[in-house]
Structure 1
Amino acid sequence: MKKIVLALVLILVGAGSSAPAAAEPRSDIVRVWNEFALAAVRATRATDADAARTYAMLNVAVYDAVNGLTGPARAHALIPGPGPRGADPQAAAVAAAHAVLVRLDPDRTAGYDTRLQADLAGLRPGHRRDAGVRWGREVADRVVASRADDGSAPVRSQPAGSGPGIFRAEWSGVQYRDVRPFAVADPAVYVPGPPPALDSLDYAAAFAEVALLGDAAIPAPDKLAIFQFWSVPAGTVQPAGEWVKIALARSHGLPLPASARLMALLTMTLADTTVATVGTKFTYRHWRPATAIREADTDGNPWTRPNPDWASRAGSIGGSPEYPSGHSSYSGAAAAVLAGFFCTDDVRFTHTTDTAPGGQARTYPSFSAAAAEAGRSRVFGGQHFEFSNQAGSAIGHDVATEVLATRLLKRTGPTHHGACPL
């Protein structure tokens, strides 16, 4: 029976965009409002941490609003049900999404209001719709209130450092190392041990690799294209947003409760991965390859050689400490959630990022293959060592493992504890 269910899910996921426009707007609700969130992140030039928090707040509110009216068959994310008997889950979902976004992004309220009215106009008027709207707004207000003191503000910075191995610039956003998690018990347990010692052979090997693969002076159009594809800096949807886009495409055809659950699992994981990633960066303050290569005569390693003129293929040093790679953390987390949710990693898909050169899509045989390329792109750009790619991927994977094993479980009967959450 499980194989039959999985096959049906994969058929639905693979249906892509060929479904007729007039199809019942079940998962379309989740897609449309997440696309609004993606647009808000682009418009506000949100940081990667703030972006991940926005996506999580939106999708937690939608999930809890829907879940509170459909049993609730599963555990809540932040706000417990039940909601009002007989209320419309679709009305609750759109009202919850709208209420979160107008609070987080008031400058675009007019557009959110227009979409809310259009969504509600497509539902049968009456008590069920009105009750759903009231419940969705209540859930959203409670989600926003619950995150008001989560530690994401005010913005704090770590001062510039000095000396061998230390990141040199001041960087902001370090308050996220103390942000209250959405789903995991303690993000600090995912802070790994330190990077390789500067005088070690492992460090020298990683140094040699990035000095070659990430060197702007060496033409490598394929490496440059991969870096650019996954670069997604401020003004884009950020790394977390690219995985939101991937998940939305894969969720096509799922019923509303399943689509809402997928996006809540994914975005809570991404937000909590931020906390462990920032905590690791803050703890070790590791220097970026550009500084390391230019000042290799100070690292005490007999196997490294300085190159004062070295420049990264990315064209910049990087705005935060090097260890670990945040792109790798987010990608490792998302790939693990998606593989867990769909009970397989081997889902072929095509994706176009906000920074894809020429808007050209890339195709991947699996979620993990895309995550691996995203991580390696940081080495190709000369912004990270490979050990930081590996550390970031491990952080994300481990956070995802806890979230899948402990959150949004069925209240009775078989749960999604373990490898397969269906």
Structure 2
Amino acid sequence: MRKTWIVVALSLVGGFAGAQAPVDIDSVRVWNGFALDAVRVTRATDADAARMYAMVNVAMYDAVNGLAGARARTAALVPGPGPRNADPQAAAAAAAHEVLIALDPARAATYDARLAADLARLTRPQSGAAWGRHVGQAVVSVRTNDGSTPVESQPAGEGPGVFRAAWSGTQYRHVQPFAVADPGRYIPAGPPALTSVPYAAALAEVAILGDAARPDPDLLATYQYWSLPAGSDQPPGEWLRIGLEVATARHLPLAEQTRLTALLSMGLADTTVATVGTKYQYRHWRPTTAIRETTDPTWSARAGSVGGTPEYTSGHSSYSGAGAAVLAGYFCDDAVAFTHVTDSAPGGAARSYPGFSAAASEAGRSRVYGGQHFEFSNQAGLSTGRGVAAEVLATRLLVRHGPTHVGACPR
């Protein structure tokens, strides 16, 4: 009898030793990585980038949330429920795949191969993958006529205070929002009058801090770190990456990863609508034009360019305000320290921040250091982003039962 128990015990030990840990295909990080790369390779605009990120992450969230049963939260776009006992990892991967093959068909073969490899690692992925495909296709269908195409432009303006060049992408002022009810409510009051003291003060500041003729390696490095031009992941992508890095450091489970990235990317995408609407409405001139026509005809911006869209407000600032506020609200703590390297960081050098708002503040000020924006435009942009983020956190992806918030922080 004793020998029998020993054999049983040894068998159990051997079984536990040979047991494999659950497979984690890291869907959220991997498929966001593909989206970030797609933006870089296609040299997408910040507006197009934000839309892609939101579609990918809304699809992954709804695919995973639809399999949560009684624990499901409110849907972002596609309500559940999905099939019982389906694999949420397969669902997330398949949902993201459907969005990316629709938005970036040139790299469809790469996405197909990765999805096949991901699903091959899972034990029973079929029903989860089918559900994910359904969700991804539904997201693409709903957003196909969201107003992001055809491309529209605003013609060049003339006269004091007016942006002088034609610029494209103005259709985004009317794009269907992902999360907020009316992005127009976040369009701020206009810039200060050209004859006002606040305008004169802002003009004097940028004329010094943003002057290419005044070498300052620290100011230049800060501008470059946050510049994120075409060919980068764009400002919305940088805040998405920050969120992904913090989520990884905190070992968030899949459902929470998808909720975080959906909230974040929806907030960033809806900030686009308010920002483009503001630029279109006020059509304010850039510092280079203002300074050359009023005080110094030889002045040039530290950034090396005038800027391709109207000055008011700063899009980098509005995206940073939104990104930082969503992250602080999700974690219910702004003071989450992190270290990060942006796509445009000089020499690939990392910077460390004591919290999200500190990074957003630096990102906004970088636009003044580059001679691209006035400080009042930075502050207005940060405020726009924070306003959009507050509505997203207050109203979207909430629990269905019991209190939805702890203070202003969603549960």
Q: TM-score, normalised by structure 2?
A: 0.93
Alpha-carbon contact 1:67-1:81 (below 8 Å) kept: yes
Alpha-carbon contact 1:406-1:417 (below 8 Å) kept: no
- Alignment pair present for 1:47 and 2:45: yes
- Alignment pair present for 1:323 and 2:312: yes
Q: Distance in 2 between matches of 1:149 and 1:418?
A: 37
Amino acid of the residue matched to residue 319 of structure 2? Y
Q: Distance in 2 between matches of 1:44 and 1:195?
A: 34
- Alignment pair present for 1:230 and 2:230: no
Q: Distance in 1 between matches of 2:277 and 2:21?
A: 44
Alpha-carbon contact 1:27-1:255 (below 8 Å) kept: no
Give the equivalent residue in structure 2 for 1:87. Answer: 86
- Any idea what the Cα deviations from partners look like across 1:27-48, whole Å, max 9, x if unmatched? 8210010000000000000000
Which secondary structure does the structure 1 equivalent of 2:405 belong to?
coil
Q: Unpaired segments of 5 or more residues in structure 1? A: 1-21, 297-305
Q: Distance in 2 between matches of 1:24 and 1:382?
A: 52
Alpha-carbon contact 2:23-2:122 (below 8 Å) kept: no
* CA radius of gyration, larger in: 2
The 5 A counterparts of 1:210-359 are: 210-252=206-248, 253-296=251-294, 306-359=295-348
Amino acid of the residue matched to residue 354 of structure 2? P
- Alignment pair present for 1:117 and 2:116: yes
Alpha-carbon contact 2:170-2:276 (below 8 Å) kept: yes
Question: Which of 368, 381, 384 is the equivalent residue of 1:395?
Answer: 384
Q: Distance in 2 between matches of 1:121 and 1:379?
A: 50
Which secondary structure does the structure 1 equivalent of 2:386 belong to?
helix
Amino acid of the residue matched to residue 368 of structure 2? V
Question: Which of 165, 168, 172 is the equivalent residue of 2:168?
Answer: 172
Question: Which of 164, 175, 195 is the equivalent residue of 1:199?
Answer: 195
Change in 2 beyond 3 A, CA 1:87/1:285: same
| Segments of 4+ moved more than 4 angstroms | 22-27
- Alignment pair present for 1:416 and 2:405: yes
Which secondary structure does the structure 1 equivalent of 2:352 belong to?
strand
Question: Which of 117, 120, 140 is the equivalent residue of 2:136?
Answer: 140
Alpha-carbon contact 1:26-1:256 (below 8 Å) kept: no
- Any idea what the Cα deviations from partners look like across 1:32-77, whole Å, max 9, x if unmatched? 1000000000000000000000000000000000000012520000
CA apart distance, 1:115: 1.0
Which secondary structure does the structure 2 equivalent of 1:363 belong to?
strand
Change in 2 beyond 3 A, CA 1:349/1:24: farther
Give the equivalent residue in structure 2 for 1:102. Answer: 101
Alpha-carbon contact 2:153-2:170 (below 8 Å) kept: yes
CA apart distance, 1:23: 7.4
Amino acid of the residue matched to residue 150 of structure 2? P
Change in 2 beyond 3 A, CA 1:418/1:176: farther
- Alignment pair present for 1:60 and 2:58: yes
Question: Which of 203, 208, 233 is the equivalent residue of 2:204?
Answer: 208
Alpha-carbon contact 2:267-2:388 (below 8 Å) kept: yes
Which secondary structure does the structure 2 equivalent of 1:295 belong to?
helix
Question: RMSD of aligned C-alpha atoms?
Answer: 1.2
Change in 2 beyond 3 A, CA 1:224/1:23: farther
Q: Distance in 1 between matches of 2:95 and 2:140?
A: 10
Q: Unpaired segments of 5 or more residues in structure 2? A: 1-19
Which secondary structure does the structure 2 equivalent of 1:350 belong to?
strand
Q: Distance in 1 between matches of 2:409 and 2:328?
A: 8
Which secondary structure does the structure 2 equivalent of 1:251 belong to?
helix
Amino acid of the residue matched to residue 384 of structure 1? H
Change in 2 beyond 3 A, CA 1:23/1:198: farther
Q: Distance in 2 between matches of 1:250 and 1:418?
A: 22
Change in 2 beyond 3 A, CA 1:25/1:407: farther
- Any idea what the Cα deviations from partners look like across 1:133-168, whole Å, max 9, x if unmatched? 110000011000000110000000000000000000
- Number of equivalent positions: 389
Change in 2 beyond 3 A, CA 1:272/1:169: same
Change in 2 beyond 3 A, CA 1:183/1:417: farther
Question: Which of 361, 364, 385 is the equivalent residue of 1:372?
Answer: 361
Give the equivalent residue in structure 1 for 2:3. Answer: none
Which secondary structure does the structure 1 equivalent of 2:339 belong to?
strand
Q: Distance in 2 between matches of 1:188 and 1:26?
A: 41
Q: TM-score, normalised by structure 1?
A: 0.91
